[in-house]
Structure 1
Amino acid sequence: MTREQIISIVGPVDDDLVADLIASGASPRELREAWGWLHNEEALIGAGRPLPGSRVSELIDILDPPEDET
């Protein structure tokens, strides 16, 4: 995944976040899915979508860390 792909999916982000997302080894498709879960969780569950897999869950944690880790 490239910086440009990340920015096209999540918008402008800092270099540390870009590096973390690239280091995850995830694909752009997985990043889009994680971004969708973060911003439309109720709609995805209501649509019967399965819960996110482990790599998508990892991306969700990178994109939205728990409050005590910020």
Structure 2
Amino acid sequence: MTMTRQDVVSVLGPIDDVTIAEIIASGASLKELRAAWAWAFGDEALMSQGRPLPGTRVAALIDLIEPDDEGDLADQAQMHPDVDN
């Protein structure tokens, strides 16, 4: 079953429309999105719990939902324009 915008927001909270569209277009299931969230933001390393490494689709979702370091730096520069980075 194809995920909906509501499904994506129920797992990730409010996020931008482009990311939501990319996640839906990936063809991933809600279960796969939940697994990607657990890998990206879980408190415990899932490997230490004996879980296998994520599959290709879950790994692609992780790439979509993890914060982008370069984007984080740009956001910081916008928040503090008078500070040289």
- Cα distance change, pair 41–52 in 1 and its aligned pair in 2 (3 A): farther
Q: Which has the higher contact order (CA 8 A, sep 6+)?
A: 1
| Counterpart selection for 1:50 from 47, 52, 55 | 52
Instruction: In structure 1, list runs of 5 or more residues that go unmatched.
Output: none
How high is the TM-score relative to the length of structure 2? 0.73
Percent of aligned positions with the same letter in both sequences? 52
Instruction: Say whether 1:61 aligns with 2:41.
Output: no
Runs of 4+ in 1 over 4 A off after TM superposition: none
Larger Rg: 2
Name the CA distance, whole Å, in 2 between partners of 1:5 and 1:46: 28
Name the CA distance, whole Å, in 2 between partners of 1:67 and 1:49: 27
Equivalent residue, structure 1, for 2:9? 7
* Distance apart, 1:41 and its partner CA: 6.8
Name the CA distance, whole Å, in 2 between partners of 1:66 and 1:57: 15
* Distance apart, 1:32 and its partner CA: 0.1
Name the CA distance, whole Å, in 1 between partners of 2:16 and 2:41: 19
Counting helix residues as a fraction of each chain, which structure ranks higher?
1
How high is the TM-score relative to the length of structure 1? 0.88
- Cα distance change, pair 42–28 in 1 and its aligned pair in 2 (3 A): same
* Distance apart, 1:43 and its partner CA: 3.0
Corresponding pairs, count: 69
